[in-house]
Amino acid sequence: MGVRRELRKVGKLFGRSESTATAIPNERLGYDGEADALLAIPRVRSRTMVAHASLLSLWAQIRHCELKGLPGAYVECGVWKGGVGGLMALANMAYGADRRPIHLFDIFDDICEPDPAVDGERALTEVEQFAGRSRASLSGKMQPLSGVYDHIGGPGDAEAVQKFVAEELGYGTDFTRIHKGWFEDTVPIVTIGPIAILRLDGDWYASTKLCLDHLYDAVVPGGFVIVDDYGTYEGCRKAVDEFLAMQPEQPFLNYVTADVRYWIKPAGASLA
């Protein structure tokens, strides 16, 4: 068992929010393929706010898709500086004979406003703290919360993410697909085809709901749906719970960290 120590809990908007051993860099958690992951994660670490334990879990999921031949693209909605996209690329190259499209959706600017009616107290407190905006001024508008990512190096940049994944990590421009814009404007119109892994990291209710509404049907049976903020923000949890309640089968939500859950698409669910 690795060394355990409590870390101060920080806001999700400020960075990784896990407060326990899941936040210790380089800790071994016993996943298959973990030695490879521990070599890959330092190459993306500065470009992701996702916790170490969640990166290990994602690596194991991609390894599974590659070794078992699960078809489909890898998709992340909420990319920031592209560390997760980079890890997807590295894991594919480690275990897969063929490249597959990696679709990365983001505004590549500060995140939009939460909706005070659904996104919950934690979202409002963090926005007040990190963007200096009063909760009374928020209404869920598609406008960047100026300065909210200043404490962690500012927002992501589409060209820099493209260069990082396609060139620096060597994934190639043919398979690195960057979709810049609000999800509301990009997700409904981009053609992706089957999806093996759908990773949602857009924090708020409306963003999570939109991505599930438009992309879930394309996830292949046996594919993974990962929701980064299920345990973090009330609105994200509500969007997932409402969406799954409408599905014919109710999957078990697997715990990764205090923030992250994932489920495996049931074989009986629809495929677009």
Ligand X SMILES: C[S@@+](CC[C@H](N)C(=O)[O-])C[C@H]1O[C@@H](n2cnc3c(N)ncnc32)[C@H](O)[C@@H]1O
Which residues lie near ligand X (CB under 6 A)? 48-50, 78-80, 83-84, 106-107, 109, 111-112, 155-156, 182-183, 201-203, 207
Work out how close the CB of 185 gets to ligand X at its nearest, in angstroms, rounded to a whole number. Answer: 8
Work out how close the CB of 41 gets to ligand X at its nearest, in angstroms, rounded to a whole number. Answer: 12
Closest CB to ligand X among 66 and 201? 201
∠ at Cα 210 (207, 215), nearest 5°? 120
Closest CB to ligand X among 72 and 83? 83
**For residue 22, how far is the Cα from the chain centroid?**
17
Question: What 3-state class would DSSP assign to 223?
Answer: strand
**For residue 97, how far is the Cα from the chain centroid?**
25
Q: Cβ neighbours of residue 86 under 8 Å, at least 6 residues apart?
A: 43, 44, 47, 48, 164, 165, 169
Closest residue by beta carbon to ligand X: 78
Work out how close the CB of 147 gets to ligand X at its nearest, in angstroms, rounded to a whole number. Answer: 13
Token pair in block for residue 268:
């009986």
Closest CB to ligand X among 202 and 231? 202
Closest CB to ligand X among 100 and 214? 214
Work out how close the CB of 240 gets to ligand X at its nearest, in angstroms, rounded to a whole number. Answer: 15
In sign, the C-alpha dihedral spanning 126, 182, 116, 236 is: negative
